[in-house]
Amino acid sequence: MRKRKLTFGLFSLMMAASVALTGNVNVSAATKKLSVNRVYENATVIKEKTKKKNVVKVKVGGKTYSVKANKKGKFKVKVPKVKAGKKYTVKSYKKKKLYANFTIC
């Protein structure tokens, strides 16, 4: 039992030292996620993934289209035909709070 505690203590000490020396910690798991598939010209659907059951709103010009993501976080929003060079904003809301946003040009 004592040997196990000593080994675990040394391991945690080495990990703390390595983080302190490098100064870099990977926090990619903590970043908010919203991804959108590539949108081609003349497409009528914008789809991809966000956090499950979030509300996704797509703003095209002055109109806003919204849909709720399913249990797996996938969503599909029907929009008018996509034109080249037009700006689209995709926002994901968790209840009424903005979770993440993405702009397509």
Per cent of the chain over pLDDT 90 is 25
Cα Rg of the chain, angstroms: 21
Are the C-beta atoms of 54 and 92 separated by less than 8 Å?
yes
Give me the pLDDT at residue 69, please.
Answer: 93
The per-residue pLDDT for range 39-49, each reduced to its tens digit, is 778 888 888 89
pLDDT, greater one: 75 or 12: 75
Residue 75 to residues 11, 41, 83, Cα–Cα distance (Å)? 43, 20, 21
